[in-house]
Chains A and B, each alone.
Chain A
Amino acid sequence: MAQRYQGPLEQLDENRWRIPRTSRPGMQVDGVIYASQQLIGDVLDGGGPLQVANVAMLPGIVGASLAMPDIHWGYGFCIGGVAATDVESGGVVCPGGVGYDINCGVRLLRSDIEADEVRPRIGELVDRLFEEIPAGVGVGGSLRLRRKELRRVLREGAPALLERELALPEDIERTESGGCLEDADPDAVSDNALARGADQCGTLGSGNHFVEVQLVEQVFDDEAARVMGLQQGRIAVMIHSGSRGLGHQVCQDHLRALQSTVRKLGYNLPDRQLVCAPASSEQGRRYLAAMRAAANFAWCNRQVLATLTRRTLESFFGQSSAALGLRQVYDVAHNIAKLETHEVDGRQRRLLVHRKGATRAFAPGHPELPELYRAVGQPVLIPGDMGRASYVLVGTEQAMAQTFGSTCHGAGRVLSRKAAVARAKSRRIAAELARQGIVARAHSRESLAEEQPAAYKDVDQVIDCVVSSGLSRKVARLRPLGVIKG
């Protein structure tokens, strides 16, 4: 579908490519893509650069329309895109710049469990997780929230789960934004969205969402790994999910309402998925209030998934979480728009930073980081594919200076789902993974084929690019041992 990008592109340095603002009418700023020589071919073939140029047309965008090296063609925004708008100067909020899965993100738990102890029983452990963690189409969770309780979750986020004993204070401290965005308003969320959320808190969903048992294979930064509790040879568990149907519906409600608004505002946008409104307008504020509510729901969803994971491991090993050393490392959002202060043209400005398939990567010393991570920088959790690796990184000053404190969010797809299924025909992906020592279980028949390792860029190359660009530093490489998917 996507056609190779043929437009103007200038190489700025080893890892940066510029689409000049003069290359297409309507661009307010340059586009800047982070990609190494190894990756740029796939980036151009994927057609994402055209979308980087389209995003550069958003009213009030500042700096540049950015793309991380895991960039691929999305809908409206490219995946891997970062765009900051100046709220005080009429800058817009763009629901498509957050996406349908509001606050899709990643959580990592560390443990003292030795990988050697788990390997002989990994199939059994994955089966147990597969039984305990709700996933797949139309499957509800064990936590049914009445309307009043759901509204509280939307307003308060993960801390609302403390008194239900579904969260520990430490989990909240070790979650981006403390698991709660302020100014979330459940009244801005439609009845339809609330209905979809009522039984979906604590459900994985399908697509690329997963719970994965991983081995800490290699540590690159001893001090950061020590602070995070990551030790070579031990087990970690990574959880990837988002705001489920509630978030999807919030996005749709506001995209639909904005279709006619942009005509009234006289915005000339190249894609209907890029509809937007000034962030300070009534409609902009209403979307942000609903988006924050959906983001809070997503944090609760991952919190419940983490609790289910903990309880499953406790029962499987017959030991408490404390005895297993099972503790949260961090939780990051990679589809979100947040108000942040950044320096642009030598001046501190209040910006709305859209990260669509990009991860916040704040530098050491940033006041928004929990005290534990203030000295080492924000943990950045990067899921790779289920056959290769995932990474833990930390944010840097360079990211603050160049990318509004952002980095990549994953490996980035190279094969469409259909192409991946076609390539998997007559192959047994689960058996192939098993030969590599990885146990995979999925609810849907096509899920493993769609998510096979060959469907993604090589995560090592993506990580090398953000590291050599200075956007992040490597802390640890995690290798999959077992995975459950929707």
Chain B
Amino acid sequence: MDGQCTTFDHTADVGLDARADSLEQLLTALADGLRRVIHQPDGVDPRQTRTLQLEADEIETLTVDLLWQLMDLIQVELFLIASVEVQVAQLSGACRLEARVAGEPYDAGRHVFNTEIKAVTYHLLQVRQDEQGVWRGRVILDL
């Protein structure tokens, strides 16, 4: 199974719910869910690549860090995302990841924003592997 991400309702906000066989796929699926909330995925070409390197003391915080950085990339740098590839290195006492983000600068003639996200929250945050070995992630976005 590749990673899958769906959105779910949260009164003022929107949540991302993802499942995948690996942590990398899970983070990739959440990243894909995030970009689809902010902008239409159509017509965004992988013309340029950006690399993010992040570290945190546990995986849930690292997940928020990744999504926050991607949100900034889109909303602050106006770099729209075509795809994200994530590599995770789990070390004792810390987690690191490297994300390769492909996309292109916003072009008002071809790209459509859906909404602005204020934040990627810690509320009801969950990133874990279940008993069947499936990785599950839940993140709520403040709109």
Contact = CB atoms under 8 A, between A and B. Distances in A.
A143 interface: no
B114 A446 contact: yes
Contacts of A251: 119
Contacts of A402: none
Contacts of A245: 75-76
B2 interface: no
A75 B64 contact: no
Given A205-B116, A248-B119, A260-B57, A2 B125 contact: no
Given A207-B116, A446-B114, A447-B115, A1 B122 contact: no
Interface in A67-87: 72-76, 79
Interface string A242-272: 0001001001100110011000000000011
Nearest to A272: B122
Contact of B76 (A195, A416, A445): A195
A138 B118 contact: no
A445 B116 CA distance: 12
A339 interface: no
Interface SS of chain B: helix, strand, loop or mixed? mixed
Interface string A93-137: 000100111000000000000000000000000000000000011
Given A75-B123, A137-B38, A138-B75, A101 B115 contact: no
A446 B115 contact: yes
A1 B124 CA distance: 11
A417 interface: yes
A251 B68 CA distance: 12
B9 A416 contact: yes
Interface in B16-44: 38-39
Interface of B: 7-15, 38-39, 57, 60-61, 64-65, 68, 72, 75-76, 78, 106, 112-116, 118-125, 140, 142-143
Given A252-B119, A419-B9, 13 more contacts: A1-B10, A75-B13, A75-B122, A75-B140, A76-B121, A96-B123, A99-B142, A136-B116, A138-B106, A196-B72, A196-B76, A416-B11, A446-B115
Interface of A: 1-2, 46, 72-76, 79, 96, 99-101, 136-138, 192, 195-196, 205-207, 245, 248, 251-252, 255-256, 259-260, 271-273, 275, 413-414, 416-419, 444-447, 450, 486
10 contacts: A74-B11, A79-B12, A100-B119, A137-B113, A206-B116, A207-B115, A245-B76, A256-B65, A260-B57, A271-B124
